[in-house]
Chains A and B, each alone.
Chain A
Amino acid sequence: MTGNTVVEAKNLVKRFGNLQAVNGISFQVQEGEAFGFLGPNGAGKTSTMRMIQCVSPKTSGELRVFGMDTEEHPREIKLRMGVVPQESNLDPDFTVREGLIQFARYFDIPRHEAAPRADELLAFMALEEKKNSTVEKLSGGMRRRLILARALINHPTLLILDEPTTGLDPQARHLIWEKMRGLVDEGNTILLTTHYMEEAARLCDRIVIMDTGKILVEGRPDELVKAHASEYMVEADTSPDVMQCLKRHQIAFDTYGDKVQIFTRDPKEVTRLLLDECSMDGEVTARPTTLEDVFLKLTGRTLRE
């Protein structure tokens, strides 16, 4: 990390009519960092990404990318940025390879430079065999990889990825993580949104968790787990007896579905207690807490519309 701030937002607000999609968020992304946005559906992640991409004007606040204001220098910013949108917008009128060369033209990259670059990227994303097919004939995962290849055509130093691995099989997801990590190690900056906690934990140096347009917490994934949840989670089948028993021993717990969940530093003790004193006969599991536990703890379990 060189300490250069690539993206800087201060009190950033985005409104659609009466709906406040982004509600005064502030954050900084440093050069060479992988920075993740997590949050339930409708949290305002895509709205934030689109403002950074200079395709959606902010309602108020400040937003600078590469030190430039997004509304005063969109051209300069977009020239150095690669974008993977949440919704696919690959051009179906061209073959895979032609589409990449076509896209390069928007960046003033001449064909004789774009063609080898396209081949290189197709190899990078393991799509060489599909270079002459049309987009329609690609599977969903291949399309996602192609969009990623497209986002790299202009050698961007900042990548904005809105749910890059949604709908991918584990192989493709691992391939993309590996490629992303490689790009970050070369000094590029990545901003991504994701619903996969594992992805955030593996890939991101820092994350924020957003909900209803606000940033709830920010930090390194492992530190967030430490700060917001005890080290272990004990889960057991729930029953009125068990809940009574836990209350009696003054142990805090959550219930959802047919499980009780107990955050604890001492899983052995809690397990022993459940089995011996609460005379549990169902299943008891103890595991280290994860980012997902933190996420659910902070954003609740209600389903978002």
Chain B
Amino acid sequence: MHLGFPVSYRVWKVWRRNLGSFMRTWKVNFIPPFLEPILYLLALGLGVGSFITEVNGVSYSRFIAPALVSIAVMNAAFFECTYSSYVRMYYQKTFDAMIATPLSIEEVIAGELLWGATRSVIYAVLMFPVLLVFGVIDLPSSFLIFPFAVLAGLLFAALGMCFTAITPSIDGLNYPSFLLITPMFLFSGTFFPLSLLPSFIQVIAFAFLPLAHVVRVIRCFTLNSFSPDVLISLAWVLGATLVLSTISIRLMKKRLIV
């Protein structure tokens, strides 16, 4: 069992630790998920949206609603597994303490990734009622957001963890935040359809930007309109999650086991 990947039920112990720490400050943690969609829907949906009659046959608010969920899922997991994981790893030496117990380094990192995904789900769950009240998502298909947020959350958690594993210092994490997350936030079919851009940018977006696929999947849930494209995106997300999780665990092991 020690060969390759010694991952067992013990990953949940790491997850439980992070949940325990999260719940100690739950009040602060629960406010942004409520506030953020309200701010975006007011500013972009009502404000910008009043100049736009329809995007791809739906109101602007309904068009950006799935993007808001996707971005929240991305940010929750990515920032949990970059800055927060880095603090736990480097400053608090939490991982060092854990690997001196029966936990393996693989379990510690896998637990961190699961926790990152959980942050995504928590965010999505808390946003959900706000979006319902604004009437911008359809039921019951939108409930599919929750299981999908686990997968998408894992993807962004693993992506973040790869950077955490190689960054020389906490400031180094600013690079992926600005150079990857910000462009992804804008160019993934979030606030305007990707089809408006030159086709080579569309190709690049769907080849490399996880958020483009996540938005496409979640949009089909909230608008209750399925298309075959979605299956490709689902497969892309699943594949990328497996690859990036494996890489992130390997890189972390390389960094911490010396």
A residues with a Cβ closer than 8 A to B are 16, 53, 55-57, 71-75, 78-79, 83, 85, 87-94, 98, 102-103, 105-108, 154
Q: Are B94 and A78 in contact (CB under 8 A)?
A: no
Number of B positions contacting A (CB below 8 A): 23
Q: For A151, give the chain B residue with the smallest CB separation.
A: B100
Q: Are B21 and A93 in contact (CB under 8 A)?
A: yes
Chain A residues with CB under 8 A of B24: 93-94
B214 at the interface (CB under 8 A from A): no
Given A89-B93, A91-B94, does the pair A55, B2 have CB atoms closer than 8 Å?
no
Task: Give chain B nearest CB distance to A137 CB in angstroms.
Answer: 15
Q: For B103, give the chain A residue with the smallest CB separation.
A: A106
Q: For B101, give the chain A residue with the smallest CB separation.
A: A106
Given A55-B257, A56-B257, A57-B257, does the pair A106, B96 have CB atoms closer than 8 Å?
no
B28 at the interface (CB under 8 A from A): no
9 nearest A-B pairs in the assembled complex, by CB-CB distance: A89-B93, A106-B101, A93-B21, A89-B97, A83-B100, A75-B102, A89-B96, A78-B102, A79-B102
**Measured CA separation A267–B258 after assembly (Å):** 50
Chain B residues with CB under 8 A of A56: 257-258
Q: Are A103 and B2 in contact (CB under 8 A)?
A: no
Q: For B94, give the chain A residue with the smallest CB separation.
A: A91
Q: For A153, give the chain B residue with the smallest CB separation.
A: B101
Q: Are A106 and B20 in contact (CB under 8 A)?
A: no
B16 at the interface (CB under 8 A from A): yes
**Measured CA separation A73–B257 after assembly (Å):** 16
Q: For A14, give the chain B residue with the smallest CB separation.
A: B258
Q: For B99, give the chain A residue with the smallest CB separation.
A: A55
**Measured CA separation A297–B69 after assembly (Å):** 69
Q: Are A55 and B100 in contact (CB under 8 A)?
A: yes
Partner of B102, one of A90, A94, A106: A106
Q: Are B104 and A75 in contact (CB under 8 A)?
A: yes
Q: For B256, give the chain A residue with the smallest CB separation.
A: A55
Q: For B9, give the chain A residue with the smallest CB separation.
A: A108
**Measured CA separation A83–B10 after assembly (Å):** 19
B98 at the interface (CB under 8 A from A): yes
B residues with a Cβ closer than 8 A to A are 2, 6, 10, 13, 16-17, 20-21, 24, 92-94, 96-104, 257-258
Interface of A, helix, strand, loop or mixed by DSSP: loop
Q: Are B258 and A16 in contact (CB under 8 A)?
A: yes
Chain A residues with CB under 8 A of B99: 55
Q: Are B101 and A78 in contact (CB under 8 A)?
A: yes
**Measured CA separation A292–B99 after assembly (Å):** 35
Beyond the given pairs A87-B93, A88-B93, 19 more chain A to chain B contacts, judged by CB atoms under 8 angstroms and listed by A's residue number, are A55-B257, A57-B257, A74-B104, A75-B104, A78-B100, A78-B101, A89-B93, A89-B94, A91-B92, A92-B92, A93-B21, A93-B24, A93-B92, A105-B13, A106-B10, A106-B98, A106-B102, A106-B103, A154-B101
**Measured CA separation A85–B99 after assembly (Å):** 12
Task: Give chain A nearest CB distance to B18 CB in angstroms.
Answer: 9
Partner of A102, one of B2, B6, B17, B258: B17
**Measured CA separation A212–B187 after assembly (Å):** 56
Task: Give chain A nearest CB distance to B50 CB in angstroms.
Answer: 45
**Measured CA separation A75–B98 after assembly (Å):** 12
**Measured CA separation A78–B2 after assembly (Å):** 14
Task: Give chain A nearest CB distance to B28 CB in angstroms.
Answer: 14
**Measured CA separation A56–B256 after assembly (Å):** 9
13 A-B pairs with CB atoms under 8 Å apart are: A53-B100, A75-B6, A75-B104, A89-B96, A90-B97, A91-B17, A91-B94, A93-B24, A98-B20, A102-B20, A106-B101, A106-B102, A154-B101
**Measured CA separation A87–B101 after assembly (Å):** 16
Among A55, A74, A94, A106, max chain B CB count under 10 A is at A106
Chain A residues with CB under 8 A of B258: 16, 56
Chain B residues with CB under 8 A of A94: 20-21, 24
Q: For B105, give the chain A residue with the smallest CB separation.
A: A55
**Measured CA separation A56–B253 after assembly (Å):** 11
Partner of B96, one of A55, A72, A75, A102: A55
Task: Give chain B nearest CB distance to A100 CB in angstroms.
Answer: 12
Chain B residues with CB under 8 A of A74: 2, 104
Task: Give chain A nearest CB distance to B10 CB in angstroms.
Answer: 8
Chain B residues with CB under 8 A of A71: 2
Chain A residues with CB under 8 A of B20: 93-94, 98, 102
Chain B residues with CB under 8 A of A108: 102
Given A56-B258, A94-B21, does the pair A107, B92 have CB atoms closer than 8 Å?
no
Q: Are A107 and B97 in contact (CB under 8 A)?
A: no
Q: Are A103 and B257 in contact (CB under 8 A)?
A: no
**Measured CA separation A55–B97 after assembly (Å):** 10
Chain B residues with CB under 8 A of A16: 258
**Measured CA separation A106–B258 after assembly (Å):** 22
Chain A residues with CB under 8 A of B98: 106
Chain A residues with CB under 8 A of B104: 74-75
Chain B residues with CB under 8 A of A79: 102
Given A79-B102, A106-B98, does the pair A72, B2 have CB atoms closer than 8 Å?
yes
**Measured CA separation A83–B6 after assembly (Å):** 22
Q: Are B16 and A105 in contact (CB under 8 A)?
A: yes
